[in-house]
Amino acid sequence: MKSQNYFTLREVQLHNNCPECYSNEGLELTFKQKFVENIFYKAITEDTKYDMHCNTCQTNIFPVRWTNDIEQVVNYQKRAVSPKPKSLKLKQAGWIFVLIDVLLFITVILFVTGVLSF
C-alpha cells in the first residue's frame, strides 16, 4: 500500500542538438525527487533521478545517445540543482500507533515493577 512517486524539482530547456532529430530547440532535462507515502507517514527521500526528452520529435533521449556536449551540460545542471532536504511527517494513524505503543510500554513497566497489579 506504499506509493512511491516522484515530483519535479526542476525542468531545464537545453539548446544542444537532439541526437535523434538534430533540432536545437526541443531538448528538455527534468530532475525529479522521490516522495513516499503510506498510511503512517509521508516522506521525501534523497533519491533523485533525471530524464531527457525532445519536444520536437517527441522521443526520450537515453544516456547512451548523449553526445559529449550534452553530457557536459547535464553534469553542470546536476551540480546546479538542489534537492529538497530529506524529511518525514507522521500522519494521524502514525501518531496513534506511537501513542498506543508508549502506553503499552508504560503499562508493562508498571506491571513488572509491581506498581500496577490485576
Q: What is the pLDDT of residues 37-66, one digit of tens each?
A: 889 999 999 989 999 999 888 889 898 888
CA distance 75 to 80: 9
- In a domain? residue 106: no
- In a domain? residue 102: no
pLDDT band for position 16 (50/70/90)? confident
- In a domain? residue 30: yes
User: What per-residue confidence (pLDDT) applies to 53?
Assistant: 93
Residue 1 clears pLDDT 60, i.e. is over it: no
- In a domain? residue 14: yes
Cβ-proximal residues to 2 (8 Å cutoff; 6+ apart), any chain = 36, 37, 38
Q: Which domain holds residue 70?
A: 3-90
pLDDT band for position 24 (50/70/90)? confident
Average pLDDT over residues 8-26: 88
User: What per-residue confidence (pLDDT) applies to 2?
Assistant: 60
CA distance 5 to 117: 49
Give the chain's domain count.
Answer: 1
- In a domain? residue 114: no
What does pTM read for this prediction? 0.75
- In a domain? residue 100: no
- In a domain? residue 68: yes
Q: What is the pLDDT of residues 71-106, one digit of tens each?
A: 999 999 999 898 999 999 999 999 999 999 999 999
